[in-house]
Amino acid sequence: MTIGRYLLALITPFFLLGVTGSDLAASLRDAAAAYYANVAAIAPITSRETTIDYYQRLVDDEDMVANQPAPEGYDAATWEMSTHGIAELDLSLAHQLLTKQFVPMASIRGLGETFVRSSQDGTMQPVAVYVPSTYVPGKRTPLIVFLHGHPQSESQLLAPRFVRELAEANGTILVAPYGRGYYDFRRSTPDVYDALDAATAAFTVDPRKVFLAGYSMGGFSVFEVAPARPNVWSAVMCISGALLGNDAPKVLAFMRNTPFYVLTGSRDESIPTQYPTITASYLSQQGMPVSFYSLPNGIHRLITLLPILTQAWADMVHDVVRTAPPALGAALLPSQPPPAAMKT
């Protein structure tokens, strides 16, 4: 038995059953070794430019599980649940690449990870999925495609419990593709739509309730991704992001009647609150339906925005437009993200 096969046999039970503490760290360490030993064979499957990214996830996850304290906004138990969820998704990702056996998206219930073949280059690209307990095949269900931030992955976006609780509360399927561009999804727009198409084929999706949401980098990217197929989206949510000037013409031309939901924390240290506020004001000035949510003392970390995220999520799913943005006069859109955003 090769070292890769030996380690693969060793790690398989862990991600299937879930473990705690030191066992999970050991599982991640062994998975990283197995993955690295087979990286040359994996590279053609998922593209050479991102192959090492998935190895690095396992290394980072081991450090996160073993050493990192709960950040602001998390208590210890919630952080542990989130980190274990991230680790188990990334272990599943590694297992699928090592075995070349990919989880059918239609089989996922609750939280899961799978791959979708890219229409852009034929590679297999990761997608995190959450299917709520209320889902019944044959019953039309809302779907949210959720774009992650930077540096972040699709597993880090969906694994936290509060995100899954939002999906449960509103009966929404969540699909989070991996953005394999450096800063935004501009190089990954086809992958977003491949994930959407795979989800609509796998599940009974209500075509009147298909939404695009994005956080941080993803909050900038929704304005690039959505106009590519504007008639697909029932509404668009921008969390801690902004509309840039070069994306505005396409948004105005193709999405003038689409509701937009814009969220910000007043103390956001990465994307200053002026960016989302100007975005919301600009769209409103153009006569577009905009709902604006600002949380006093909210920072960039998504969990700290939970009070307004809960409200905005429900509003979007239930077609409620409320809370117009402040009038700022002639709003001038930024030409690029703030410098701090490139470092987060």
Q: Calculate the alpha carbon distances from 252 to 212, 227, 263 in Å.
A: 17, 9, 20
CA–CA gap between residue 257 and residue 290 (Å, rounded): 10
User: pTM for the whole thing?
Assistant: 0.93
Tell me, what's the pLDDT at 340? Answer: 66
Burial class (CB in 10 A: 0-12, 13-18, 19+), 250: middle
Task: Using 50 as the pLDDT threshold, list the residues of the chain that sit under it.
Answer: 1-8, 10-18, 342-344
CA–CA gap between residue 325 and residue 276 (Å, rounded): 10
Tell me, what's the pLDDT at 6? Answer: 40
CA–CA gap between residue 88 and residue 17 (Å, rounded): 9
**34 contacts: CB under 8 Å, gap ≥ 6:** 3, 4, 7, 8, 10, 11, 94, 98
Token couple for 60: 């980072």
Tell me, what's the pLDDT at 10? Answer: 44
DSSP reduced 3-state for 234: coil
Consecutive H or E run containing 260: strand 260-265
CA–CA gap between residue 156 and residue 40 (Å, rounded): 26
What are the start-end ranges of the E strands in 160-232?
A: 173-177, 205-215
CA–CA gap between residue 66 and residue 79 (Å, rounded): 12
